[in-house]
Structure 1
Amino acid sequence: MALNINDYGVPSVKPLPVFLLLDGSGSMSQNQKIDTLNKAVSEMLGKLAEDTVQYENSYLVTVIIFSGDQAEVVMQALPAGEANCKWRDIPTRGRTPLGSALTLTKKMLEDRDIIPSKSYRPTLILVSDGIPTDDWQQPLESLVTEGRSAKCDRMAVLIGKENADASSQVLKLFIGDMPHKVEKAETAGQLLDFFQRATMTVTTRTHSVNPNQIVPMTAAGAGIDGDDIMFF
């Protein structure tokens, strides 16, 4: 039998999906919160793109903005390099429809045409500065307890101090039994630091022997540029 070289192709790299659920509500326009968030996301996408090139890892980036009356998918399962090139700063408007964002996230995670079965365990990162303004309890319960989405790694950061106790409880429910805590960003530097550590946590998994194993987020850094801007 003749040898067909096409039968021996190089195996494709398994992707690690990363979902960013970002609060774009009106309150995020205060005290440079949205400016700092946009900078943090841009830096994260740049680092993931660099890691893809340098180490031949693969990430599928989805960005969901929740603001106004409902959430919106602005990037859906894009390779990190493409996501980095297409990223544009998000604006702010209206309310905080977190439930809508969780519903969209759940729908995409369960769709194998969007998130392939060969993918590593996805990472979900939730960023918010306030209390949800829509029905969020049932979508959250479904996300963290049912189907493929229940197996995701989940991180969260609370921006500012307004309604901090109530908002923190929502984010704790989102994290659930993951080996992380609700991070708090009361300054620009703390938010940038959170995203740097979240990025490191994601890339650490792809560099490990078992990328499906969840690793705790590294401890807070020593502070970075922008930590003088308060989010109160």
Structure 2
Amino acid sequence: MVNVIKRPGEALATRPLHFIWIADCSGSMHGDKINSLNFAIKEALPAMRSVADENPNAEILCRAVSFDSSAKWHIETPTPVETFNWIDLSIGGVTSMGAALKLVAKELETDKMGDRALPPVLVLLSDGCPTDDFRSGLNEIMKLPWGKKAVKLSIAIGAGADLDVLQQFIGHSEIQPLVANNSAQLVDYIRWASTVVLKAASSPDSRTPGQQASVTNVPVQMPPVKPIDSSLDVF
């Protein structure tokens, strides 16, 4: 059912916008990496709520998948950003990224997304290389209409991430993986992915499945790359 927000003299139908973090929780994420990731997402939530307030035509629904030796829903229920609370991730195991993408693909099927949704936003965060069949997981997403329409972003946590894999996930040469070399950069990039891109995706101009996309279904302006602060520890 489409929600309707009532305004004086009018009724405005809202459209769901699914925002999904896909987070690497393998053993190499120990220490500063996982702590910074948990902190960065919590820090981004107030700004995400502000974006939601500015875009009443969109109902922003958040959730998260985590992956280590297996993949699972870390926060499974699509939750309105106004009431969404982040649960800290823990680490262990290897990097089942392909399995995580298959979990996400199941939620992008039309019978679950509906036909009035705005383009979903998928944010992949990883510090390493997949240890399973990443390509088959990505194929599961890309064979779906909503998978093709999704805004896909990736953030490398440290220098050891597989940038080629993260670029394949994005699927557009004009959009590059962001590389966070320390906690401050990770906070900046997650805030960008969670607000600037979210605002673009929730705007009335976002494309729907019946429209033809050009380069990407939502215009994305990449953030400036900040110099590394030498006073901060590097991941």
Band the TM-score falls in, shorter-chain normalisation: 0.7 to 0.9
Partner of 2:23: 22
Residues 210/28 of structure 1: CA separation in 2 closer, same or farther (3 Å cut): same
More helix by share: 1
Partner of 1:109: 108
Partner of 2:130: helix, strand, or coil?
coil
Helix, strand or coil: the match of 1:41?
helix
Unaligned runs of 5+ in 1: 1-7
Say which is worse superposed, 13-22 or 54-63, in terms of deviation.
54-63
Q: Identical aligned pairs, as a percentage?
A: 27
SS in 2 for 1:134: coil
Note if 1:171 corresponds to 2:169: no
Write out the 4+ residue segments of structure 1 that deviate beyond 4 Å after TM superposition.
Answer: 221-227
Alignment of 1:62-77 (within 5 A): 62-77=63-78
CA separation of 1:22/1:227 partners in 2, compared to 1, >3 Å: closer, same or farther? Answer: farther
Structure 1's 111 and 44: CA in aligned 2 closer, same or farther, altered over 3 A? farther
Which of residues 173, 177, 180 in structure 2 aligns to 1:182?
Answer: 177
**Is the Cα contact below 8 Å between 2:119 and 2:146 reproduced in 1?**
no
Query: Match of 1:5?
Result: none
Per the alignment, in what secondary structure is the counterpart of residue 82 of structure 1?
Answer: coil
Aligned length: 216
Rg comparison, structure with higher value: 1
Residues 10 and 227 from structure 1, CA distance in 2 versus in 1: closer, same or farther, beyond 3 angstroms?
farther
Q: How does 1:1-232 map to 2 (within 5 A)?
A: 10-30=11-31, 32-53=32-53, 55-56=55-56, 57-83=58-84, 86-113=85-112, 115-162=113-160, 164=161, 167-177=162-172, 179-198=174-193, 199-206=195-202, 208-212=203-207, 213-220=217-224, 222=226, 228-231=232-235
Q: TM-score, normalised by structure 2?
A: 0.82
Structure number with higher strand proportion: 2
In the superposition, relative to structure 1, how do residues 119 and 226 fare at CA in structure 2: closer, same or farther (>3 Å)?
A: farther
Question: For residues 129-168 of structure 1, what are the alpha-carbon distances to aligned partners after superposition, in whole Å with 9 as ceiling and x for unaligned?
Answer: 0111122211112313443212111100111112x4xx11
Q: Structure 1: which amino acid aligns with 2:38?
A: N
> For 1:210 and 1:134, how far apart are their aligned partners in 2?
37
Aligned to 2:3: none
Segments of 5+ residues of structure 2 without an aligned counterpart are 1-8, 208-216
TM-score by length of 1: 0.83
